[in-house]
């Protein structure tokens, strides 16, 4: 009687086992697609986390600047001085930017787990927009990378919902 190794058992198929092989192949392809999402998702998470951290420092500073009272009026044309002279406007922009970065961070976490395709796509698109991007020099390339990966048909099929 010929000797059977455990490896040979997987090679012997009859009837319904072909369905299991197809499931295993599809599952392997999905894990490969999810693995391709990890790179851009982690990069976007890191950049968005740094932006959230920066806003968590900036917002209290703007609140303190608001409590100090009115600031001197800046000269026309000096946009940096005008922007710094209005801590209320800085506070509003900071809160809006914090909300956008929080959404980008949430979406990148969902992207890494291959969940919520629409949110992942919105995250990649927001990362490409310069006003919404965490850091233009990093956010835009990582967003483009995420968009390229998300447009792949295998990656789309790997998403659970």
Sign of the C-alpha dihedral computed for residues 99, 101, 105 and 110 taken in this order: positive
pTM of model > 0.85: no
**Tell me, what's the pLDDT at 94?**
87
3-state secondary structure of 157: helix
Instruction: Give the DSSP letter string of 66-93.
Output: HHT---PPPPTT-HHHHHHT-HHHHHHH
Residues 119-145 pLDDT 10s = 999 999 999 988 777 666 778 889 999
Instruction: Give the whole-angstrom CA distance, residue 40 versus residue 109.
Output: 11
Which of 23-37, 112-126, 127-141, 145-159 has the least mean pLDDT? 23-37
Q: Answer yes or no: are the C-beta atoms of 37 and 156 closer than 8 Å.
A: no
Domain ranges of the chain: 45-158
Q: Which pLDDT does position 26 carry in this prediction?
A: 47
Confidence class of residue 89 from pLDDT cuts 50, 70 and 90? confident
User: How confident is the prediction for the chain on average, in pLDDT?
Assistant: 78
Would you state the torsion angle of the CA atoms of residues 69, 71, 72, 76, taken in this order, to the nearest 10 degrees? -140
Neighbouring residues of 38: CB distance < 8 A, sequence distance ≥ 6: 112
C-beta neighbour count of 77 within 10 angstroms: 7
């Amino acid at each position: 009687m010929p000797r059977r190794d455990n490896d040979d058992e997987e090679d012997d198929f009859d009837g319904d086992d072909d369905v299991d092989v197809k499931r295993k192949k599809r599952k392997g392809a999905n894990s490969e697609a999810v693995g391709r999402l990890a790179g851009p998702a982690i990069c976007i998470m890191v950049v968005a986390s740094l932006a959230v951290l920066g806003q968590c420092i900036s917002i209290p500073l703007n609140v303190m600047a608001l409590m100090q009272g009115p600031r001197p009026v800046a000269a026309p044309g000096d946009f940096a001085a005008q922007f710094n002279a209005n801590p209320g406007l800085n506070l509003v922009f900071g809160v809006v930017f914090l909300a956008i970065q929080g959404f980008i961070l949430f979406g990148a976490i969902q992207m890494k787990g291959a969940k919520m395709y629409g949110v992942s796509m919105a995250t990649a698109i927001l990362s490409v927009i310069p006003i919404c991007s965490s850091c233009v020099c990093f956010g835009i390339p990582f967003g483009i990378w995420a968009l390229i990966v998300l447009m792949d048909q295998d990656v789309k099929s790997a998403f659970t919902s």
